[in-house]
Chains A and B, each alone.
Chain A
């Protein structure tokens, strides 16, 4: 008798334990969100739970360190959360490997979304992510340096001719007019130089990803324009050591008057040099052409193995209303209507917001890291005067082509 009752208790307990997760799934959403937006995420989750008392949101906070590996492991493990925030550029890979669900039904008003962001998350005509955050690189400058050099700080450079002329005028008294990157983080240099190539009508590889195009006249002219900032002495002596962070340090130290960066540098600059009068403008463009930038940012994806995709979709729709997207994003919202929110009317932010419309996705190629390295090496060969621009870009073109041929 005793044994039988024990067995019964055990059987019931096992049944409960087995059933628990299934029961818990209904009305539960697990959401992986990065740490920088945690407070705002908790507020939005609470608002949603209030309006939908039958749904509970479990927030799991992620950090950028090692996130791609962590997300990939979760997606492949079969035990994925319901919503993950990932960078736009990762989504295509997930879609190709059938790890995330199509979310076409979530986007009723696609014309209200940044076009480049939607391009990133579209694979074979289906949408695999909902973009919510976008950002672009612009030009930051020291307004006092402009005044000292006899330039009007309210009229930052708009065209390439202005840009060079201003860099020349600003290079004085131990200050360098315009710092380019050509060292440190390899990716930084391509984010800053590739937009110039695009503006000038060139590209690094063809649209079909089969041909290297970095030695075309348009691309070579743009690379020459970029590297001339150093060759003419407007970029610091340490340029070959400098990436985005190093240039920010030089800007804070008052050694650099202009440099390319995103609005993520505004806060560190204001903290590091509270008296520095900061100005910002979209990247200048060649005469008669329009500006460009590499767009980056974040999207929501629903894993293939999500336990509760229905409620997850409902929650994403809530997160991406015009107001909530404007509230939640750390930089800029992917929704165009959200840009009207008060917080984006700051004069320092507006130029970055204006640049978003010119944003283009980075090429999607399995050899992208090596292509970036080949381009970076080419820029360094020019700056170290080993090769002229055309010869160097011919070699870079060969290096990239050998990667594309593999």
Chain B
């Protein structure tokens, strides 16, 4: 008994730091969301943030943004990792080059892409019209049917190297004997990938996907720096709405209310994901 109490004392400093850094902001956000600026209890914050059409739009956009980003990041990242795991001349160089998008600071990448996709001055429209592929400049960032796809593409470009590196590390840990055994059984490249490689990197993929989902839900830099959520809220995602409420309009209580709703939605998504991935593991 006494032994276990001593143990608690040892972890106390760490618990205090955790409480200050995580629990306090969390509790304070909930408190802010339930009070008005004078500190009185109210439900108005939730009513006020849920009333504008933009709030619902931002949640739908968020699901599209995270879903599409994660799928393409994982598929492209895994494919890149499998390729980079093959033996070919200049492999080290190609591996380093693949990492560049991930290393570039988000704000630099966003600004550069924004200029490249600009309707009037952008190099992408310049090349397309120069090659005679399009007659009118394409409104990459102004057409509401295209803009979210463009944002997802930029996000995938930015993050697939991370998936590639993680999966590559897992691939290198697969013992060669497994492949040799598969070869003896007459497996070709696709059979090896499907029945040896992928099952071996499964745990890494689950962890990486969870990280990507969390990053996607929290991301603000790329979209905010390129479109600020526009045009006409076509790329508005909830974190941007929270940012606007808090730091442009100084409505901290409403921003807290939206954060609480956002936290609940995120928690449900992550819980479902973990449930599914654990069920897969048991099976």
**What is the interface of chain A, defined by CB distance below 8 A to chain B?**
182-184, 186, 236-241, 250, 255, 367, 369-370, 373-374, 376-377, 380-381, 383-384, 386, 395, 399, 402, 406
Q: How close is B144's CB to chain A, nearest CB, in angstroms?
A: 5
| Contact indicator A386/B119 (Cβ below 8 Å) | no
Could you list 26 A-B pairs, sorted by A, with CB under 8 Å? Answer: A182-B231, A183-B142, A184-B228, A186-B228, A237-B136, A237-B137, A237-B139, A238-B119, A238-B120, A238-B139, A238-B142, A240-B230, A240-B231, A241-B119, A370-B251, A374-B52, A377-B54, A377-B232, A380-B231, A380-B233, A384-B231, A384-B234, A386-B144, A395-B53, A402-B48, A402-B51
User: Could you say which of A183, A238, A369 contacts B230, with CB atoms under 8 Å apart?
Assistant: A183
Classify the secondary structure of B's interface with A.
loop
| Contact indicator B119/A377 (Cβ below 8 Å) | no
User: Could you say which of B53, B142, B244 contacts A239, with CB atoms under 8 Å apart?
Assistant: B142
Residues of B within 8 A of A374 (CB): 52
User: Could you say which of A236, A370, A386, A399 contacts B249, with CB atoms under 8 Å apart?
Assistant: A370
Closest residue to A250 on the B side, CB-wise? B120
Q: How close is B264's CB to chain A, nearest CB, in angstroms?
A: 22
| Contact indicator A384/B144 (Cβ below 8 Å) | yes
User: Could you say which of A183, A255, A369, A373 contacts B231, with CB atoms under 8 Å apart?
Assistant: A183
Closest residue to B48 on the A side, CB-wise? A406
Considering the chains assembled together, what is the distance between the CA atoms of A329 and B151 in angstroms?
44
| Contact indicator A383/B136 (Cβ below 8 Å) | no
8 A-B pairs besides A240-B142, A373-B244, A384-B231 with CB distance below 8 A are: A236-B119, A237-B119, A238-B118, A240-B139, A240-B141, A370-B249, A402-B51, A402-B52
Residues of A within 8 A of B251 (CB): 370
Residues of B within 8 A of A186 (CB): 228
| Contact indicator A369/B248 (Cβ below 8 Å) | yes
Residues of B within 8 A of A238 (CB): 118-121, 137, 139, 142
User: Could you say which of B120, B232, B248 contacts A386, with CB atoms under 8 Å apart?
Assistant: B232
| Contact indicator A237/B142 (Cβ below 8 Å) | yes
Q: Is B44 an interface residue (CB 8 A)?
A: yes
The 8 closest A-B pairs by CB, nearest first: A238-B119, A380-B232, A240-B142, A238-B120, A381-B232, A240-B231, A380-B231, A384-B144
Closest residue to A184 on the B side, CB-wise? B228
Residues of B within 8 A of A380 (CB): 230-233
Considering the chains assembled together, what is the distance between the CA atoms of A399 and B49 in angstroms?
11
| Contact indicator B118/A377 (Cβ below 8 Å) | no
Residues of A within 8 A of B137 (CB): 237-238
